[in-house]
Structure 1
């Protein structure tokens, strides 16, 4: 009976001390940040809300549709995480309209975060060029590095 109590106490203490923090879950925004894109009216030069916007991204194996959003003033777009020096992003404001192609050029820097999150990519030296100009008329650069999702990196002029 003495051994049974001792065994139960050891098992209980083992269970109690094995419950640690959830360091294998990447919930606190420590993963690879996305690029923040905002919109400016070409007529007034002021920030604007877009009625509807479709975004597609070429991650190296063809375009991936990120879907439609309505009544937005900014959009977060994930960039490529391989070693490619650019990502092609496509913007469309109507289902039957044309789409604009924007190429985002950058250099990447890898940072180890944790066992659960793995490696985080940071993007430096961001520059963009408008390949196909309709419906986006022009581009305006924002912050030229992506370390978090707080600052706007690119402004699209409509």
Structure 2
């Protein structure tokens, strides 16, 4: 499956800057230490390789269980017109992804869902966290749903 969601033309202001990086660092530390929830749903720390720099990047994100036992994440950027940077890092290096979840570090493969598969996953996500439906209304891009499948 391809990573092909183009930026939109309207949406909420995308979070960024030094303060966001500081908050992300604190959240990642907390998630790795205690596991747990963030804003009402399960959270993990996503480790990607920067598409431009090649440096490792860490981002805390909410995740949802998929019907097949994998994990789903949404590249929402809180409804911003652009995709978050980690989306492009996943697209560039889908097989060099790790997650910290449940006190473990797990190597995963990332794939973007499309069509009926995305629709079914999206319904599960908005049922569990209606906030994502609100994010979708804010922007004119389709929020990418990414499946993280454990590598063996």
Tell me, yes or no, whether TM beats 0.5.
no
Structure showing the higher strand proportion among its residues: 1
Greater Rg over alpha carbons, structure: 1
Structure showing the higher helix proportion among its residues: 2
Q: Which has the higher contact order (CA 8 A, sep 6+)?
A: 2
Q: TM-score, normalised by structure 1?
A: 0.30
Q: TM-score, normalised by structure 2?
A: 0.31
